[in-house]
Structure 1
Amino acid sequence: MFGKKKPIPQIDKDQLELIENAQKRIKQKKRLYVHFVIFLIGAIFLIAANTVLGIGKDFQIFNIDWFVFAILLWLFFFVYHLFNVFVTHKFMGKAWEKAQLEKLVAKQQDRIESLKAEFIKEEKLIAQSEVFNESATQSETSITKTKKSELTIIVAAAENDAIGLGNKLIWHLSDDLKRFKALTNGHHIIMGRKTFESFPKPLPNRTHVVITRQKDYQAPSGVILVHSLEDAIDASKSDAQPFIIGGGQIYKQAMAIADKIELTRVHHNFDADTYFPKIDTSVWKETANVFNKKDADHDYEFSFLTYERK
């Protein structure tokens, strides 16, 4: 409205640098053009001074009139000026080239430092994986469990324990899905209603035990409906190793009674609305650790971890 000043457009520093160097370039070309004009006029003047005015008419070098050498010498300086403008003095000038080189070196240094940090992190994870696997191999347990079944939690969780957002997985790791399928194949899988509803259809070759408070909940044939975790475990007593597969509240309840945790630790932090409970290392012992690098099929590094109750 009235009285308001028009905003002055802000010129980016690099754009300003381009403009200033372009102006220098224009001045260089103008000086070269003036030199060319003066050279032509000067050459004509030298020829006229000798032939018309008779200046130095009898002075020759190697039987060649002196003005020819004067014109050739001047031509040399003009060609040198021309070479200087279009070859030696590049568009941005030496100072600009040096600044750009320094910027490039700084960026490369940052990249090197970033790669170093990633390499150190990766080496640490690999070392942890090797140490835990060697430890697990050397210390084979001599304790035979008397329980008829082993209740196992299986989950994929980020570094900040994030496991889901909007009842969906946050990432897609092909090898993690293959591991889930291999471990749970042929077993009972216990889950909450929302987890069950996140599946397009029941998973093949597994018995689904769904926990829900809804008394009239309708489920496909073959799905076992229960109303508590205790009932779900009772419904799975024929299975030597039933699996708890989610969601957050079911995991929280199962932590107090589970025997084992099969965890895929995704080495990244994510925003989520569902989180896995913290693993208390005074209660749980890590018995296996397999590190996996990120690749074309996996956007993040991850580790397959196994915890057993002490």
Structure 2
Amino acid sequence: MFGKRKHTPQIDKDQLEILENAQRRVKQKKRLYLHFVLFLIGSVFLIIANTFLGIGKDITFFGKEWFVFAIIIWFFLLIYHVFNVFVTHKFMGKAWEQKQLEKLVSKQQERIEKLKANLVQEETLKLEREDLAEIQPKPTKKKSELTIIVAAAENNAIGKGNQLIWHLSDDLKRFKALTNAHHIIMGRKTFESFPKPLPNRTHVVITRQADYKVPDGVIVVNNLEDAIDASRNDVQPFIIGGGQIYEQALNLADKIELTRVHHDFEADTFFPEIDHSIWKETQNTFHQKDDNHDFEFSFITYERKL
């Protein structure tokens, strides 16, 4: 069960025919030799049985003892056997073998030529593909789209005492949906405003403090450039605050996802003014206040002008 599998050789049909024919001739010759030995022993036995033992001594055909006809019949059978082995062998002998050999050589030559042709074709296709690859521009890795996400009042207020000033359920849901499975870049104070790291996001914290302690999985850097570099494998890392980080990122970001709360608030942290000569508004969805939202607000998307 666990032994090595026996290799079964693949034999060409013509080669198999030659082999089977040779085996048949060997068997025929062996039978002929046995026939000849039996003929001699049988002939001697018949002569002794009739002459010395008197078996069938009175039986004659055409004036001859019966064993003479038995020996003649057996002899003719022997002659037929010899003919079958040696005379027939001439028709399938060396000339036939040579013909079969030539046929095999011819087939092998055809196969070799076909293999050569296929090899040349494959090499040609390979060279053509290499030439085409050199001509065609290599695909470039998609650039990360650095996105600022922020909720700001009409007077650009975003927080007070390191806390949000309002609670908008749909805004929190939007923040979660957009940042899920992405890197979120923030300052130390913003990170400390969370009870614990947000699930399914990679936190990148910017701080000047040496040996700043963070939970496993949180990345600590010293400046915004290093934070962006740490997020280079993310197609859309997000800047989530606070005020100083937003101000630095505004010159580097590609997109702004803004929740504009239509009210003015007292605050100690503000979002920078958006320069509409640099940013174009591409989407705006207004939400009225309701039982779950104390203020009217809009979801606005800005993209940097080319």
Q: TM-score, normalised by structure 2?
A: 0.54
Which stretches of structure 1, 4 residues or more, deviate above 4 A after TM superposition? none
Q: Is the 8 A contact 2:142 2:235 kept in 1?
A: no
**What letter matches 1:200 in structure 2?**
P
In the alignment, which residue of structure 1 is the partner of 2:240? 245
- The DSSP-based 3-state class of the residue aligned with 2:248 is helix
Q: Does 1:177 align with 2:175?
A: no
The separation in 1 between residues aligned to 2:237 and 2:211, in whole angstroms, is: 25
**What letter matches 1:234 in structure 2?**
D
Q: Does 1:159 align with 2:154?
A: yes
Q: Is the 8 A contact 2:282 2:302 kept in 1?
A: yes
Q: Decide which of 212, 216, 227 is 1:217's aligned counterpart.
A: 212
How far off is 1:252 after superposition? 0.1
The separation in 1 between residues aligned to 2:270 and 2:141, in whole angstroms, is: 32
How far off is 1:216 after superposition? 1.2
- The DSSP-based 3-state class of the residue aligned with 1:303 is strand
The separation in 1 between residues aligned to 2:245 and 2:150, in whole angstroms, is: 12
In the alignment, which residue of structure 2 is the partner of 1:198? 193
**What letter matches 1:148 in structure 2?**
K
The separation in 2 between residues aligned to 1:147 and 1:258, in whole angstroms, is: 16
Q: Decide which of 257, 260, 264 is 1:262's aligned counterpart.
A: 257
Q: Does 1:281 align with 2:256?
A: no
Encode CA deviations 1:82-102: one digit per residue, 9 max, x unaligned: xxxxxxxxxxxxxxxxxxxxx
The separation in 2 between residues aligned to 1:242 and 1:217, in whole angstroms, is: 22
Q: Decide which of 288, 294, 301 is 2:296's aligned counterpart.
A: 301
The separation in 1 between residues aligned to 2:142 and 2:228, in whole angstroms, is: 13
* Pairing 1:61-72 to 2, within 5 Å after superposition: none
* Pairing 1:1-310 to 2, within 5 Å after superposition: 148-310=143-305
Structure 1 window deviating more from structure 2 (146-155 vs 208-217): it is: 146-155
How far off is 1:196 after superposition? 0.1
Encode CA deviations 1:149-175: one digit per residue, 9 max, x unaligned: 100000000000000000000000000
How far off is 1:146 after superposition? 7.7
Unpaired segments ≥5 residues, structure 1: 1-144
- The DSSP-based 3-state class of the residue aligned with 1:263 is strand
- The DSSP-based 3-state class of the residue aligned with 1:180 is helix
Identity across matched positions, percent: 80
**What letter matches 2:195 in structure 1?**
P
- The DSSP-based 3-state class of the residue aligned with 2:292 is coil
Encode CA deviations 1:3-49: one digit per residue, 9 max, x unaligned: xxxxxxxxxxxxxxxxxxxxxxxxxxxxxxxxxxxxxxxxxxxxxxx
**What letter matches 1:235 in structure 2?**
A
Encode CA deviations 1:48-97: one digit per residue, 9 max, x unaligned: xxxxxxxxxxxxxxxxxxxxxxxxxxxxxxxxxxxxxxxxxxxxxxxxxx
- The DSSP-based 3-state class of the residue aligned with 2:173 is helix
The separation in 2 between residues aligned to 1:219 and 1:146, in whole angstroms, is: 32
The separation in 1 between residues aligned to 2:147 and 2:212, in whole angstroms, is: 26
The separation in 1 between residues aligned to 2:254 and 2:266, in whole angstroms, is: 29
In the alignment, which residue of structure 1 is the partner of 2:109? none
Encode CA deviations 1:253-307: one digit per residue, 9 max, x unaligned: 0000100000000000000000000000000000000000000000000000000
**What letter matches 1:217 in structure 2?**
Y
Unpaired segments ≥5 residues, structure 2: 1-139
The separation in 2 between residues aligned to 1:188 and 1:219, in whole angstroms, is: 16
How many residue pairs get aligned? The number is 166
Q: TM-score, normalised by structure 1?
A: 0.53
In the alignment, which residue of structure 2 is the partner of 1:6? none
How far off is 1:148 after superposition? 1.5
Q: What do you get for the CA RMSD once the two structures are aligned?
A: 1.1
